[in-house]
Amino acid sequence: MKISDKLEDFKAQGKTYFSFEFFPPKTDFGLDNLYSRIDRMASLQPAYIDITWGAGGSTADRTLEMSKTIQKYFGLEVMMHLTCTKCLYHQLIRSYGCKEMAFQIFWPSRDPRERNWRMGKT
């Protein structure tokens, strides 16, 4: 389910919702520790989990790995918080394999004449 649809459902039912945001740990030990915490926090039923993508893609591989793992093993919706400076849409999809997953990518326009968001479907 798209996160936007999930949030609309919450609003329609008058339910409060929340999400958790995590930054990918630098070590495997840190990642195991975070997965343990996410396992416990999943029982709180967040609307989604936001995984931050480091500036310039510095944690891109770990962000993608975490996103896949959280969806598959914890059953939670995931939003990758991407930093796409100087990154083209097709490069992002090809480079990081997002297309194989059910991720929706929201692409903000940098053109000052165009103030809305464009959505790329994967």
Active site amino acids = 21
Q: Please list, in sequence order, all residues whose beta carbon lies within 8 angstroms of the beta carbon of residue 68, skipping any fewer than 6 positions away.
A: 101
Q: Which of 119, 122, 35, 46 is nearest to 78 (CA)?
A: 46
Give the DSSP letter string of 75-94. ---EEEE---TT--HHHHHH
Q: Which of 97, 110, 43, 105 is nearest to 74 (CA)?
A: 43
Contact 107, 101 (CB under 8 A): no
CA distance 46 to 40: 12
